[in-house]
Structure 1
Amino acid sequence: MAETEREAPSAPEPGSAGIAAADLRRVGIALDHWYPVAESRRVRQNGTLAAAFAGERIALYRGASGTVHALEDRCAHRQVPLSMGVVVGEALRCCYHAWDYRGTGRISRIPYLPKGVRPPRGVRAYPVREAYGLVFVFPGDPERAATTPLPRLPAALSPRHRTMVFSRRVRCHYSFMHENLLDMNHQFLHRGVLGRIEPKLLGYDTGEDFVEARYLFSHAGGKKDLGAGLLSAEGRGGAASPDRITIRTQYPYQHLHLVQEGTEVPAFSLFAAYVPVDAEQRVNHTFGLLSIEKPPVPGALRLAWPFIRRFTERVFAEDRMAVEAEQRAWDEQGEDWNQEVFPLILELRDVLRANGVPIRPDTGPCAAATSACGTRPTSL
């Protein structure tokens, strides 16, 4: 894979912001990846949960064995949501006429099926995995699911860290979320939570499917939220020093690592996935995992946990306010009028365009993955 390392430029190259390209907000997310669609704890034993990916409704259910299954959320009979159904062993029974579905999407029982009549083929089933407290589905070609890895998040599994899970709907195209996190020049937005922060871009790398930026964060004054203070070097018992932050968009995910000066182990790591909900992909479900290294004092992180969560919720609320305002402007103008001058974000946009797919009215996950939808129902 080609990789380019860039030093942080003082200004964009002339004309770079005016390069003609497809409107990124009309680019859909690629299907052949694993996407979280729910927190594991919300799919209870013998229970169901309604989820969605880019306009395709998905019914999650956990069978008697504890295994989670993911089916198209429409009964083949009358299109009633299967998420309204009842779990019977490893099957999901429609609440309307009691048709039973296996985890493969095949119909296993119709109570009143006439003799000699074959049942319909059923509904689409999605490959599904559980990891890091999340339920992932694979909305693309199911034959690629086995060879496509889940995101690798060692901190979320490490006993040296404690991890909190975030799950929020955000009314914007997923690309606004990537830009928000990667462009740390927006810290003025968080001045009431973080005080005055001076971010310095040290450099960045780019490749076919990634952009990675390195920043140095210095606190220039102002009052920090208590949770922010607890995450700082001083709050963790160290000396005041700048923080080194690495942010990587590794398509389609995003990762952030904060390493305090003089150390190598990240003080905290953030994983984020922005999963389109609607067919037009103007709403996303943001899933995040924040893994925080445990300090030397036993129990200190547990006591600080409510304050850290409040801090992260405040920062996220401010970011959501900004990106949703960006989406409203796009909706009003009908196209992207952004006058972007930051070369890092221009590189990011190229990566998101190159790896995405067009958004068209006839392309939900099922329409775009024809081979995966061979289980579309047929009439009796």
Structure 2
Amino acid sequence: MESSIGEVAEAATALETGAAHRDIRKTALDPNFWYPVARSAEVRAGKAHSCSFAGAPIVLARGKQGAAFALEDRCAHRQAPLSAGVVEGERIRCGYHGWAYDASGACVFVPYAAECSRAAPGVRSYPCREAYGLVFVFPGDPALAALAPFPDVPSANDRRYKIRYLNRRAQCHYSFMHENLMDMNHQFLHRRLMGGIKTYFLGNRSGDGWAEATYSFRRVSGRQPLGENFILNRGQWRWKRAPLSAEALATPPGDRMVIRTDYPYQSLKFWIAGASEPALDLWNCYIPVDRAQRINHTFGMIMIKRPKHRFLLDLLWPAIVWFTNGIFAEDRWICELEQAAFDAQGEDRNQEIFPAILDLRRVLVENGLPLETRRG
């Protein structure tokens, strides 16, 4: 039996064990935030699209007037998925008996008992918004939706940036993804794609609900991939690595990368030395798919600033896609191996020493909910 998101929140208030003692891999994401659950392009007019948040099935539909709405993906009648039904005008009809629901979740028509339609039970509706080419829902208490801050991603609306959308699934708890991006000391993982990279950790900061770290990098061996070269060097084609002195190795370059988790979202910005605006601006959200929250779906955007000759970015886009696909594949592979280790051990046994990750883990646990209280 699936338990509702509301049950998770209610159970959290009864938890006796403090958050500080909770296993991070047994921490559920707080549903009282706006979460992307689909690309806008996936929710076509007159069509239904199925998705989920932490095991709660959700159907997205786009009515004739163009606005998307979100409902529980179960017909109140026989529990058949509404996503298997038909979108007609501004309502969705179950494909089994034809019960029709409007955007508020109210049952507005029962074909064989029209006089009883108003008495028929409805289904849950979710607050729904579209922005940045993504469809967001608020899976928590709907009374809190208007008070919850909506993600602010200025580069996504800036025509000087070209967007690559991220839409991929990983078989691991969302916390592994946060840690992977925050900890840039894992460049050895990407040695085949990127060559030898020396990471300079320039400090970390944290507060209530957020943590961030700053880095710089220097290539010490190998050649830079074409996609990475264009993103970070703005087409200045620095293919060959200059000989590195001991002094050069000891001094970080002027480029800066800041990675930040603003619970529950994560961002990465990269500034070329002397630049006032980032050359690369990434925004991610990791959505728990299943009830156990050991599968996550990443919805995000890589926003790359166009160079002076704008056509160059379009010309080299396939190389950028190839490079980023390779990086993401390696990250997913290692995070899924981490999840496998957790599954085998039954608990988080990580011996973490890096201050940026210690801050991040605190933020995720303190702002999350106890996963273990969910009723079976």
User: Equivalent residue of 2:340, what SS?
Assistant: helix
1:303-350 deviations in Å (ceiling 9; x for gaps)? 011110111110000000010000011011111111111121111111
On the 8 A contact 2:174/2:294 being kept in 1, the answer is yes
1:18-48 deviations in Å (ceiling 9; x for gaps)? xx73210001000110001001101001001
| Structure 1 residues 361 and 78: CA distance shift in structure 2, 3 A | farther
Alignment-mate amino acid for residue 358 of structure 1:
P
Aligned to 2:153: 153
Q: Say if 2:283 is the partner of 1:271.
A: yes
In the alignment, the residues of structure 2 paired with residue 311 and residue 345 of structure 1 have an alpha-carbon distance, to the nearest angstrom, of 26
Aligned-residue RMSD, C-alpha:
1.9
Q: Say if 2:106 is the partner of 1:106.
A: yes
**Structure 1 length as normaliser, TM-score?**
0.87
Offset, 1:206: 0.6
Aligned to 2:74: 74
| Structure 1 residues 363 and 206: CA distance shift in structure 2, 3 A | farther
Aligned to 1:169: 169
Q: Kindly tell me the number of residue pairs found equivalent between the two proteins.
A: 346
In the alignment, the residues of structure 2 paired with residue 210 and residue 232 of structure 1 have an alpha-carbon distance, to the nearest angstrom, of 26
In the alignment, the residues of structure 2 paired with residue 286 and residue 58 of structure 1 have an alpha-carbon distance, to the nearest angstrom, of 17
| Structure 1 residues 296 and 120: CA distance shift in structure 2, 3 A | same
On the 8 A contact 1:218/1:243 being kept in 2, the answer is no
Aligned to 1:207: 207
| Structure 1 residues 287 and 117: CA distance shift in structure 2, 3 A | closer
1:248-307 deviations in Å (ceiling 9; x for gaps)? 000000010000112121001000000000011000001120001000013111101111
Q: Which runs of 5+ in 1 are unaligned?
A: 1-19, 365-380
On the 8 A contact 2:22/2:370 being kept in 1, the answer is no
Offset, 1:237: 6.4
Q: Which runs of 5+ in 2 are unaligned?
A: 1-19, 242-252
Offset, 1:243: 2.6
1:122-181 deviations in Å (ceiling 9; x for gaps)? 110000000111100000111111122221101110011111101001111000011000
From 366, 371, 374, the counterpart of 1:354: 366
Aligned to 1:121: 121
In the alignment, the residues of structure 2 paired with residue 193 and residue 273 of structure 1 have an alpha-carbon distance, to the nearest angstrom, of 25
Give matches, 1:172-187, under 5 Å. 172-187=172-187
User: Equivalent residue of 1:143, what SS?
Assistant: helix
Aligned to 1:262: 274
1:168-223 deviations in Å (ceiling 9; x for gaps)? 01111000011000000000001111211111111111101000111111111212
On the 8 A contact 2:59/2:82 being kept in 1, the answer is yes
From 301, 310, 319, the counterpart of 2:322: 310
Give matches, 1:233-312, under 5 Å. 233=233, 235-236=235-236, 243-312=255-324
User: Equivalent residue of 1:217, what SS?
Assistant: strand
Aligned to 1:342: 354
More helix, by proportion:
2
Alignment-mate amino acid for residue 268 of structure 2:
L
